[in-house]
Each structure stands twice: as structure tokens, then as C-alpha cells.
Amino acid sequence: MLPPISEESLKILAYWIGAVCTLGIYTILYRENRVYRTLEHFYIGLALGFGLVETVNKVLDPQWFRPMVTETSVTVVSFDKSPQLTGVALDKILKQVGDGAWKWTPLETHQIQITGIPPEWGAPNYLKIWLHLDKPVFKGQIKLTIRIHNPDTKKEASLSTNIPTDFSGWREIRLELRDFSVQGEPYRDFEKVGKYRVLGDVVAIEFQANDSLVNSGATVHLDELRHCIGYRWWWAFASVVGLMYYTVLSPRFGWMSRLSLSFLMSLSAAGYTFKAFAIEVPPHIQDSFRPIFGTDFVTAINNAIFVGVLLCVMVYFFFSVEHRHILIRGPASLGRWLLMLTFGIVFGNTVMGRFSLFISRLDFLLLQNPVEADRWTKLGMVIGLAIVLFGAAFLSVEYERRRTQRVAT
């Protein structure tokens, strides 16, 4: 068994591992060496491992595999606690799921309402409930009603359906939400785009027995009401398309990877490329028409420079006419210079970005050291570590050089 480590010691350990990795990676500035290569592999392995675990645990498993092989259900009422309602009792013997079920005698109370349930249901497709009848009632029905408060309309709405009671014993009833009759407007405005319909702000569930069931004197047991999205077995085809990518590794079946690639590319081109152009580009074109006259002096100058630069650069990229005439050659040449200026700005920003990354590592090395010491001692520690690592890098380079020499001779 490993000895216990205090949080403080763990912080110090994490810091020094970080410091060794950071300075070890920076030994590349001296020359390609074994210290750098070892730590580079360590980093790549770490990033790949993290990426793989995240992809499996947070994407493939919850977003693809589980929805495919499970109903993706959430329990609305478990019927495991005492109901505190007249005519309803907790039965811990005759139950289907969990600790108990509700024994309901419609003769005593023909309607029960359950509140305090989870209000947000997501986008279920059907409900499932376990029902038990001690005898079949052929004309009997239980009306199940979902009561909703719509915050957009600020009105109550409901969804209801009838459950037949022509059976005895336990039965799991599946109730398709599309078959429910709707009173009022249960869905919020923005959720009615396409098939995305989310049931939110559910305030109560009601069970109501009809006269036949009430008069029959039958006893009903209720257990485990769930809302479910359902099995999405057709998602398995996604894996076929995905796995076809890997055929690129086989010269014989490589053509299959092109099929899936073309399929996804065509989907992207048809569905998104035009949309991207239509949404992104027109505002840029619109913004390039800027007034030079009829505005204040400073804006006019700014706009004139903007339009001038835009035209010069566009002339530079206009290759249908040879750049010989002075009216073409001049602006095109200026356009080229302006482009170079822009590239210079981009490069300057790149340098700034690289410096920032180095600064963040120095910040870590010099200011985030958890060891209790003055700043000069901490600096000495970091410099000492840097000397050791750069020394190791130097020795590894020397070792490789001598070995190459030995092999050559």
C-alpha cells in the first residue's frame, strides 16, 4: 500500500514534475536530444490518452452507444415512498421495481394527483409505467394526464391519454407521446423547430379512473413511471460509415474510405457551405461599401484609406489583364506592398503569441513554485534544474555524436 501524501506534498510534486517537463522540452533550443525526445513522447502519450478517454467516456459512450442500446429513460415517479393520499397505500410486497408500489383503490378515490416531480423531461418519445390489476375490467380506463405550465404563454396546458384495464396481473404499459391528446400549448415557442420538442415545466401527473373501473371495485398497483427516448438502433449505421475510414490502411479496400469521405463532404457542401457563405460573407461585402462624402472628415479619410487598400489588393489579384498598364501596374504593386504589410502584422502577432506561451511557462516556473522560500532561492532552484537538464541534453548529444563516430570508423 502506498503511503499517504498530504495535499501540500502533492502540489510540490506536481510542480516539480511540471518544471522538469517544461525545462526538458526547452532543451530543444540547444539541440535535438534524448531528454527532449523522451518528454515529447511523454506529452504526446498524455494528450492522446486524455483525448482517447474523453472521446470514449464523454462522446462515444454517452452520446452514441448508450442512446443506441438503451431506452435513455428517466424515472418520473418511483412509487417507493408513502403517498399520503386517501385511497392509496404503499405496498412493499406486490411490487415490480424498487422498494414498493402504490396500491390504489379507485372506489375510495377516483383520481390521484402527484406533484413535486422533476419538471424538466427533455425530449422523450414515450412513457412507460408498470400497472397491476387484480382483475380485468374490460370497459375500464385510467386517464393519465401530464400537467404543464408554459412560461411563454403563462398558461396551463396538458397532455392526456387513456390506459385500458382489460388485463390482470403486472403489465408494463408503453404510452407514445404522439398519441396523447393536447389541451392548450405545452411546448415553448423556440422548442417547436423541426422535431425538437422539449417537455419542460411539468407540474403534475394525474391518474383518473373512469366509472367502469371505479364501480368494478378493482385494485390497481402503480410502479415506476418513466419517460423514455427509446432505442435508436439505426445509429449503428454511423459506425459502418466511420469504420469505412479505416479501410484507407488497406490498399485493397482503400476505395471504401473514399465513399464515406465523399458522403460526409457532400453532406457538408450541401448543408453547410452555402449557409456559411450566405451568413458570413454578405456582411463583409456590405461593410466594404463605405461613404467617402457626406460624413465627417476623419471618417471620410479612414473610409478612403479602407476603400483604396481594398481596391489595390483586388487589382493585385486580378490576373485576367496583364499588369503592364500604369493604371493596373501601380495599384497592383501598391496592393502587393500592402499585403506584405499585413503579413508582417500577422507575423508580429505570431511572435507575440509565441512569447506569451513562453511567458506563461516562466510564470509557472518562477511564480507558482509552492516551496516555501524567498524568490532568489526559488530562482536558484529553477536555474539549477535548468543546468542539470541542459547538461543532460549536452551529454546525450555528445554520446550520440561519439557513437556515430565509432560506427563510422
Partner 1 sequence: MEQIAQWLAKFQSIDRRIIYLCVSIAIALPFIVTIRLPVIPTLPTQKFYEAVEKVPKGKVVLIAADFDTGTEGENGPQVQAVLEHLMRRRIPFVIIGLAIQGPQLVQNYADRLAKKYGYRYGQDYVNLGYITGGQPALERFCRSIWQMIPKDAKGTPLSEIPLMRKVRSANDIGLVAEFTGAGLLGYYIQTFWGQFKVPLAQGCTGIIGPEQFPYLATGQLSGLMVGLKGAAEYEALLNLRREGYRRMMPQSMGHITALLLIFLGNLGMWLTYRRRQIRRL
CB 81 within 8 A of CB 90: yes
The residues binding partner 1 (CB under 8 A) are 29-30, 50-51, 54-55, 58-59, 62-63, 72, 74, 118-123, 188, 190-191, 193-194, 196, 198, 200, 271-272, 275-276, 279-280, 283-284, 286-287, 342, 345-346, 349-353, 355-363, 366-367, 375, 379
Q: Within 13 Å, how many C-alpha atoms sit on residue 90's CB side?
A: 11
CA distance 211 to 263: 58
For residue 379, the minimal CB distance to partner 1 (Å) is: 6
- Judged by CB, which is closer to partner 1: 259, or 362? 362
DSSP 8-state class, residue 245: G
**Distance of closest approach, residue 396 Cβ to partner 1, in angstroms:** 16
Pick between residue 76 and residue 244 the one whose CB is nearest to partner 1: 76
DSSP 263-294: HHHHHHIIIIIHHHHHHHHHHHHHHH---SSS
Distance CA 156, CA 204 (A): 11
Cell of 400: 550520440
Task: Say which DSSP state 125 is in.
Answer: S
Other CB atoms within 10 A of residue 322 CB: 8
CB of residue 47 to partner 1, shortest distance in Å: 8
CB of 126 to partner 1, least distance (A): 16
For partner 1, give the closer residue by CB, 346 or 408. 346
Shortest Cβ distance from residue 30 to partner 1 (Å)? 6
Distances (CA, A) of 127 to 121, 145, 302, 403: 11, 12, 63, 73
Phi, psi of 241 (to 5 degrees): -60, -40
Q: Which residues are bridge partners to 207 per DSSP? A: 112, 144
Least separation, in Å, of the C-beta of 356 and partner 1?
Answer: 4
